[in-house]
Amino acid sequence: MSIWKSKKLKKWTGLACAGLACLALTACGNGGAKEPQDISEVTLHIFNTKGEIAAQFEQMCKDFTAETGIQAEPFTVGSGEDAMEPLRAQMTSKEPPAIFNTDFRGLPEWEESGVAFDMNEAVNEDLKKIVSEIPENMRLTSEDGTKSYGIPYGVEGFGFIVDSQMLADLFGESGEQVLAELRTCSYDDFISFCDAVTTYIDSPSAAAVTLNGTEFTFVPEKTGLAANLNGVFAVAGAENWTYGNHLLCVPTATLASTLRDTQALTDDQILNAKPAYQAFMQALSYMTEHAAGLKGAVGRGQELVNSANFGYDQSIQMLTDGNALFLQQGNWASANIAKINEEVSKRISFIPLKQPITQDMIQSGISVEDLNSSIPFSTGSYWLINNKISDVEKEAAQTFLAWMMKPENVQKYIVESFVAIPYNADDSVQINDALATSIQSYMAEGKVYYNCVEATPSIWASDSVAKPLMEQFLTKEEWTEDETGAFVDTILQAWLDQRSGN
């Protein structure tokens, strides 16, 4: 029985242990199998790592077969499961995938073994055009940039989520204009704004605050959602990936703009980034000093890292209930917000993450103004073609990817069925999700930068940055400049050590 028709993946431990050596010996397991002579004889095996869209992806494959006559058999690993070992196993089977998913960190294995097909060599002209138009900072390339291996699955973005109704309750008819100014204001303006909100929470009045030179006046009395405010930021202190990865992407953007550029950084460039990472610490300090809570404002301490009160779900609840003005999260939070209050999920949007970065800290070429008016994004995984299969199978695989990326199919499947944001979304793509639409607007304006933390050593952000931040800093009230400076020295040295294998 074909493993592609199985409902559950079997354990292929022996094959998995064989690794790359087995790949080389078996040429991906084709053995003496009869190769198809014509595209109409091909059965495309497709390995999909997105377990949450298993049924939807299967339906798309059926529609592809109905339209083109080419058989497509998908296999999807369970949601949240590690896909690397199952993928290795299937690569050495008698029916290896023609199309599969991997990410930037997973690419070297398939590139070095010759499995990853260079899509610049595609014979399908539609696919070749699609590949040539992928933005530079979204490409999955060889180290020298000459080969292009993948089509991005989609885009995820993140920043500070804000409810427009909260701003309307704080500033009346000026709420929308306040939101527009928050999208582009400087860090100093942002901090002054947050200070003013803090004062308003304690003592509401018709005070004025200035953003980008424009003065706005608070509503004199708390009404609506503003009456629930007890802090500026909803902080998921127990979820250290929120500040040990996502917030960390801002200083990393001062170093490089692409994943390959991040890998190519010299030791001196990384060590010279100390001021930018100190700015990250300053921003995190401010956020955690102005944290909201479900039952009232909190300061730093053990409570802030308590998963029962300051986990992911609780931070979502704080924003939705109006306890906090800003929530640092990504577009994946939409569904969770909608479960609590669907109306809130329809009126939220992003403003950029703000940190006290100055132009002299920047090595990547981005300006401070662009950094303060852009949001970070990630493409995550990519669709690749197996270079070890026959030419006619590769042609069929190219046909599938080109078909999937037709504008009408992007809308029908990627947007409406998979509920994802296409990497090339423009104004013609109709997206109903509010946060996804917010990302789309930033992309259309070119106001995005890549989360290059993805190209740092695999455990650096989680183990060297996030974990000690939670254990050593978020749990204590005061941070000294000497402590934060020493911490930055430590994490930058850890980056160097881990990438050199020390």
DSSP states of 82-121 as a string?
--HHHHHHHHTSSS--SEEEE-TTTHHHHHHTT-B--GGG
Query: 3-state DSSP call for residue 221?
Result: coil
Distance CA 102, CA 409 (A): 22
The pLDDT value given to residue 313: 96
Question: What integer pLDDT is reported at residue 26 of this predicted model?
Answer: 43
Short-list 118, 168, 258, CA closest to 110: 118
Q: Which CATH architecture has domain 40-155+380-424?
A: 3-Layer(aba) Sandwich (3.40)
Amino acid at 258: T
Q: What is the Cα–Cα distance from 491 to 457, expressed in whole angstroms?
A: 12
CB contact at 8 A, 282 and 275: no
Those residues of the chain that have pLDDT short of 50 are: 1-32
Tokens of 173: 């008819």
Instruction: List the chain domain ranges.
Output: 40-155+380-424, 157-173+222-378+448-500
Question: Rounded to an integer, what is the distance from CA 382 to the centroid of its chain?
Answer: 13
Is domain 157-173+222-378+448-500 in CATH 1.10.10.60, yes or no?
A: no
The predicted model scores a pTM of 0.89
How confident is the model at residue 27, as a pLDDT? 43
Cβ(328)–Cβ(160) below 8 Å: yes
Encode pLDDT of 25-70 as tens digits. 344 444 445 677 788 899 999 999 988 899 999 999 999 999 999 9
Q: Which residues contact 320 (CB under 8 A, 6 or more apart)?
A: 337, 340, 341, 344
In CATH terms, are 40-155+380-424 and 157-173+222-378+448-500 the same topology? yes
Location of structure tokens 């539609």? 126
**pLDDT score at 161:** 99
The Cα–Cα gap between 18 and 434 comes to: 46
User: How far is residue 67's CA from residue 464's CA, in Å, rounded to a whole number?
Assistant: 50
pLDDT at residue number 191: 99
Q: Are 375 and 159 within 8 A, CB to CB?
A: yes
Q: Could you count the other beta carbons within 10 Å of the beta carbon of residue 365? A: 10
Q: Is the dihedral of CA 327, 330, 331, 335 positive or negative?
A: negative
Residue 80 is predicted with a pLDDT of 67
Among the listed residues 150, 76, 62, 154, the one whose alpha carbon sits nearest the alpha carbon of residue 111: 150
The pLDDT value given to residue 502 = 61
193-206 residue pLDDT tens: 999 999 999 999 99
- Cα distance between residue 30 and residue 28, in whole Å: 6
Give pLDDT, residue 77.
87
Max Cα separation, the chain? 80
User: What's residue 7's pLDDT?
Assistant: 34
